[in-house]
């Protein structure tokens, strides 16, 4: 089921289902926090949630997690079971929706590896919001989903640029630029289908930490960092054009350039570099890390079949899968 269906079906239900995809960033992570544009796309895997009335009489809402880097029950209890960040997210849900969500049980099944820069927390936020509204039979626009998801994302990431929950709530491929009070968001229509191989290293230490550490490095060399962010802005602008013109070799070259800047920003790791090199040696048009870095995932763009690179990652001991951006 796609999110349009889930958002438009009215009438309260005994059980409601929702879905939200993960995401990759093709250009501009980190720089986007400082106002540079970035390009992001949804993955063709995501988080599924079933919402129903809670069976037990313990104080809810209860989240039954599977695939969130944790398996078990989570309640908004400060000393309870489960990761603190998930307990805080449930507390935020109660603040946003009031006591009516305390009656709910949210069964979460995520196919997005957590802490890999693939948008697992933003997808969880969007899927929970869609599922709750659907359960109560309420229509909710994509804009309102995005607004509520940002409130939840702040629990996970502090002060995010907003790119993750925006691409995940809108779907497809977007150009995103944070403005002083809002964001400029435009859909991008690829002329050709873009196939990617995704390779996973271990989880990163956290987006919030990576963004804070970069801010501290940038404060010591402000002028130099401004040059890097300007370079990344140009990469995003040229990539947008190359995507709409179907010039995938150029998109790949721009991804490689962006990876060079991410290395200069010290958010890459030897393992991420190794996966980028492996993918390029196997014929990828370009490869880069995606998301906060310091661990997490590499995306490699290929001309058509991502399988040789997916297999090469797997053979070297890294979890891997294929994803694609469709033409519209």
Contacts to ligand PMV by CB under 6 A: 29-30, 32-33, 117, 119, 157, 160-161, 163-164, 207, 211, 291-292
User: Cβ of residue 19: shortest distance to ligand PMV, in angstroms?
Assistant: 19
Please state, in angstroms and rounded to a whole number, the distance separating the CA atoms of residues 305 and 310: 10
| Nearest alpha carbon to residue 280 among 312, 235, 322, 247 | 312
Neighbours of 51 (CB within 10 A): 26
HSE-CB for 125 with a 13 A CA cutoff: 31
Give the angle 229-233-236 at the CA atoms, nearest 5°: 135
User: Cβ of residue 106: shortest distance to ligand PMV, in angstroms?
Assistant: 21
Is 304 marked active-site? no
Neighbours of 226 (CB within 10 A): 12
Residue for token digits 């809108």?
170
Please state, in angstroms and rounded to a whole number, the distance separating the CA atoms of residues 201 and 115: 10
Q: Which two tokens stand for residue 313?
A: 């990652």
Question: How many whole angstroms from its chain centre is CA 223?
Answer: 29
User: Cβ of residue 118: shortest distance to ligand PMV, in angstroms?
Assistant: 7
Q: Which is nearer to ligand PMV, 207 or 233 (CB)?
A: 207
User: Cβ of residue 300: shortest distance to ligand PMV, in angstroms?
Assistant: 17
**How do strand 104-110 and strand 62-66 relate by DSSP bridges?**
parallel
Select which of 164, 303, 304, 311 is catalytic.
Answer: 164
Catalytically active residues are 164
């Amino acid at each position: 089921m796609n999110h349009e269906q889930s958002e438009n079906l009215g009438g309260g239900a005994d059980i409601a289902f929702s879905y939200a995809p993960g995401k990759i960033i093709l250009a501009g992570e980190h720089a986007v926090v400082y106002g540079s544009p970035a390009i992001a796309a949804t993955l063709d895997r995501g988080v599924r949630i079933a919402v129903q009335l809670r069976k037990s009489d313990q104080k809810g809402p209860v989240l039954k997690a599977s695939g969130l880097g944790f398996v078990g029950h989570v309640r908004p209890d400060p000393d309870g079971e489960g990761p603190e960040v998930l307990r805080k997210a449930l507390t935020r849900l109660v603040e946003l929706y009031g006591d009516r969500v305390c009656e709910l049980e949210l069964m979460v099944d995520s196919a997005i590896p957590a802490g890999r820069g693939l948008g697992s927390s933003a997808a969880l936020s969007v899927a929970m919001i869609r599922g709750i509204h659907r359960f109560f039979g309420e229509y909710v626009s994509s804009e309102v989903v995005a607004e509520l998801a940002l409130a939840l994302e702040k629990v996970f990431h502090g002060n995010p640029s907003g790119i993750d929950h925006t691409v995940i709530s809108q779907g497809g491929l977007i150009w995103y630029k944070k403005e002083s009070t809002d964001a400029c968001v435009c859909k991008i229509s690829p002329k050709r289908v873009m196939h990617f191989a995704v390779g996973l290293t271990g989880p990163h230490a956290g987006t919030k930490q990576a963004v804070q550490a970069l801010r501290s490095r940038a404060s010591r060399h402000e002028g130099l960092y401004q040059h890097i962010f300007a370079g990344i802005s140009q990469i995003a602008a040229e990539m947008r054009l190359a995507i709409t013109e179907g010039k995938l070799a150029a998109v790949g070259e721009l991804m490689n350039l962006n990876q060079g800047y991410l290395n200069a920003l010290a958010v890459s790791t030897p393992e991420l570099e190794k996966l980028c090199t492996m993918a390029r040696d196997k014929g990828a048009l370009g490869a880069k890390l995606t998301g906060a870095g310091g661990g997490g995932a590499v995306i490699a763009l290929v001309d058509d079949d991502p399988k040789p690179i997916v297999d090469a990652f797997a053979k070297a001991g890294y979890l891997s899968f294929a994803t694609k951006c469709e033409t519209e």
